[in-house]
Amino acid sequence: MKIGVAERQHLAFLLDNDNLSSLRDLAKRFFAQDVIVQIVNLAADGAPKSADPFGPAAGGTGDERSPMVKEALRIFGGSVRNVRR
């Protein structure tokens, strides 16, 4: 899982060892498997702050998404970049 953060304060908060560990534990419970969590500084990449860093969902309209994925997107925002089968 890659999380892009544009603001330095939020980046520092997420890179804190305790917070990053909690995020990894939450991702592992949510996906029921080990998940690699990466925190990326978007400001260093030169990406505009208003642009969606992950773009539109890949492949289709997203009608085949499970209710759990839809609810996670509603709560956390963002979009699905790609789906592995």
Assess whether 36 and 12 both reside in one domain. yes
- Are the beta carbons of 24 and 35 closer than 8 angstroms? yes
Q: Where are the beta strands (DSSP E) in 14-59?
A: 38-41
Quick one: 20 exposed, middle or buried, by C-beta within 10 A (0-12, 13-18, 19+)? middle
DSSP 14: H
Q: Which helix (H) or strand (E) holds 17?
A: helix 17-31
Assess whether 45 and 61 both reside in one domain. no
Domain that holds residue 16: 1-50
Indicate the number of domains in the chain. Answer: 2
pLDDT number for residue 83: 75
CA-to-CA distance for 64 and 45, rounded, in angstroms?
32
pLDDT number for residue 57: 42
pLDDT number for residue 64: 57
pLDDT along the chain (85 residues), means of 10: 85 89 90 88 60 44 68 79 74
Assess whether 1 and 19 both reside in one domain. yes
pLDDT number for residue 66: 79
pLDDT number for residue 25: 92
